[in-house]
Amino acid sequence: MAKRYSGDLVVNILYHDDDTYKGSVSGPGGTYKFTDLRAPRIPTAGHVGSAGIAYDSPKGYDDMAKHAIGFATYDMEGIGYPEYNARGDDYKVSRRKPGSARRYTKRPRAYRGR
C-alpha cells in the first residue's frame, strides 16, 4: 500500500491485478473510501498506462492519488484541503508528510570534506 499526502489529506492506495486501485482519502472532515478507481484506458503521454509508466510504479501511484483526491473533494464537501501546484491547475502530491525531514541528510563519510 502506498501513502501520499496533499495539504491536510492523506491518501492510502493499493493497486490490484484487475487494473483497479483501492484505498481511502482521509482528512479532518472524514474518510472517503474507493474500490474501483481505474487508470485511463487511452494512454496519455506522461501518465499511467503510457510508455514507460507502470500501473504500480511510484509515478502511477502519484497520478492515481490525484484522481482519488479529485473524487473525494467532490463527493465529500469539507473532507479537507488539498495542496495545489504552482500553476493551480492540478493537485500537488507528496510521498512524505508535510514538514518531515528528508531521510538522508548526512553525506557519506567519504564526502565529508577531509
pLDDT for 47? 60
pLDDT for 60? 84
Is it the case that residue 93 has pLDDT exceeding 70? yes
Tens-digit pLDDT profile for residues 28-72: 999 999 998 887 665 665 566 555 567 788 888 998 999 999 999
Per the CB < 8 A criterion, the answer to whether 9 and 79 are in contact is yes
pLDDT for 58? 86
Percent of the chain with pLDDT over 70: 75
For the ranges 17-21, 30-34, 46-50, 79-83, the maximum mean pLDDT occurs at: 30-34
- For the chain, domain boundaries: 1-114
Cβ contacts of 68 within 8 Å, gap of 6 or more: 11, 13, 21, 23, 25, 32, 34, 37
C-alpha cell of 35?
A: 474500490
Say how far apart CA 18 and CA 15 lie, in whole Å.
8
Q: Which one is predicted more confidently, 43 or 3?
A: 3
